[in-house]
Amino acid sequence: MHPNVAYMKRKPEPAAPPSSGTDKRYKILETAMKRHQHKSDALIEIMHTAQELFGFLDNDLLTHVAHRLKLPLSRVYGVATFYHFFNLKPNGRHTCVVCMGTACYVKGANKLLAAIEDFAKIKSGETTPDNELSLLTARCIGACGIAPAVVCDSTVMARQTPETVLNQVKGWMQHGS
């Protein structure tokens, strides 16, 4: 399965175990569900909100959503795994998304990806063991005029080379350590 592309979202707060009942974020989620009158066809909208709040969708959170929208858990889980945008696991502190759209690809996006994979010793879709960096790929971010593009922590960076993108990644890794 292709790794998700949840890179454009605001940087989430460090995820707390969603079971904590007094968590304010549940209140915000509840308000969102109320706005949609707890209708089952708002499931994707609700999951977007949930992911924005919690950073990722773990089993407890999915169960909660299923319960509140009166949907079978299988349906909720099915939707969460079907769409690339939804994360079932937390991302690292920094994310680096290499656009693999056609324009970026013919301009050497695979070289960018290989350079980062080589440096961080992880594959696309993985997070470094120290939780500093998640490396992802995107299908196309629609920035083909400035290809090849990389999205580093929600900032789109134009016309990248293996050197420029590695500089960025190295900067993070050093600050983080």
Write the DSSP assignment of 99-122 as a string of letters.
E-SHHHHHTTHHHHHHHHHHHHT-
Among 32, 40, 63, 111, contact with another protein (rule: CB under 8 A): 40
CB of 9 to another protein, least distance (A): 8
90-119 in b/e form (b: 16+ CB < 10 A) is: bbbbbbbbbbbbebbeebebeebbebbeeb
Q: Is 41 in the site for another protein (CB under 8 A)?
A: yes
Binding mask 5-24 for another protein (x = CB under 8 A): x--x----------------
CB of 43 to another protein, least distance (A): 4
Number of residues located near another protein, criterion CB under 8 A: 42
What is the rounded distance in angstroms from the CA atom of residue 164 to the CA atom of residue 177? 21
Q: Is 42 in the site for another protein (CB under 8 A)?
A: yes
Among 125, 142, 164, 170, contact with another protein (rule: CB under 8 A): 142
Among 101, 116, 124, 127, contact with another protein (rule: CB under 8 A): 101
Q: Count Cβ atoms within 10 A of the Cβ of residue 10 and give its class: 0-12 exposed, 13-18 middle, 19 or more buried.
A: exposed
Q: Is 33 in the site for another protein (CB under 8 A)?
A: no
Q: 74 vs 174, which CB is nearer to another protein?
A: 74
What is the rounded distance in angstroms from the CA atom of residue 119 to the CA atom of residue 133? 11
**Cα–Cα separations (whole angstroms), residue 56 to 13, 53, 96, 159:** 10, 8, 17, 30
| Residues contributing to the site for another protein (CB under 8 A) | 1-2, 4-5, 8, 40-45, 47-48, 75, 78-79, 82-86, 100-103, 105-107, 138-147, 149, 156-158
